[in-house]
Amino acid sequence: MDSLELTYQVPGDDFSRAGEASSAVKRTLKTLGFPPDLIRRIAIAMYEAEINMVIHADGGVVTARISPELVEVSFADVGPGIPDIDLAMQEGYSTASEQVRDLGFGAGMGLPNMKKYADDMTITTTVGVGTTVLLQFQIA
Ligand SMILES: Nc1ncnc2c1ncn2[C@@H]1O[C@H](COP(=O)(O)OP(=O)(O)OP(=O)(O)O)[C@@H](O)[C@H]1O
Ligand SMILES: [Mg+2]
């Protein structure tokens, strides 16, 4: 199998569509026969990253690169940026609004879980410019 690249636009204002990119990648990985445990980790981490773009950054672009050795997914937005990454990475830290919390988000667990489920996570962010999160999963 050669490497495969998939791209999805994530709308910023639509919670009902959030998770579509994660679901689509999950389906593709299943079809390609990747291990179920790995697919589960990727789907969880991707969903958190996707929701973060919806809640915190008015949407963005998901790009998944799938090869037999590595699954690499980037989440690029042109949102407000993250002023303090160490703080944002802390369990329980959230700037989510009351309205967003009422929908069940804002526990401050998304970034810590992404870190936990990915083999590698890199956040590149500039306040006022945007954020890109890169998640990497090694195929054993
Ligand atoms: N793409 C992003 N753009 C701007 N800020 C972000 C982005 N992703 C995360 N953040 C900031 O980092 C904080 C922590 O993110 P995290 O995903 O851990 O928690 P949350 O999204 O607030 O709540 P949860 O993920 O548990 O629903 C967010 O509250 C927000 O301030
Ligand atoms: Mg989150």
pLDDT tens-place string over residues 1-40: 789 999 999 999 788 888 999 999 999 999 999 999 999 9
- Whether 133 has a pLDDT exceeding 80, the answer reads yes
C-alpha 31 – ligand 1 centre gap (Å): 31
pLDDT at 15: 83
Q: What does the pLDDT read at residue 16?
A: 84
pLDDT tens, position by position, 83-127: 999 999 999 999 999 999 999 999 999 999 999 999 999 999 999
- Check if the beta carbon of residue 64 is closer than 8 Å to that of residue 58: no
Q: Is the pLDDT of residue 79 over 90?
A: yes
For 15-66, give the DSSP string: TTTTTHHHHHHHHHHHHHT--HHHHHHHHHHHHHHHHHHHHHHSEEEEEEEE
> 50-77 pLDDT, tens per residue?
999 999 999 999 999 999 999 999 999 9
H or E stretch at 129: none
For ligand 2, the distance from its centroid to the CA atom of residue 52, given in whole angstroms, is 5
Q: CA 85 to CA 73: how far, in whole Å?
A: 19
d(CA 4, CA 6): 7
Task: In whole angstroms, give the CA distance from residue 97 to residue 115.
Answer: 23
CATH number of 4-138: 3.30.565.10
Nearest ligand atom owner, CA of 124: 1
Q: Where are the domains of the chain?
A: 4-138
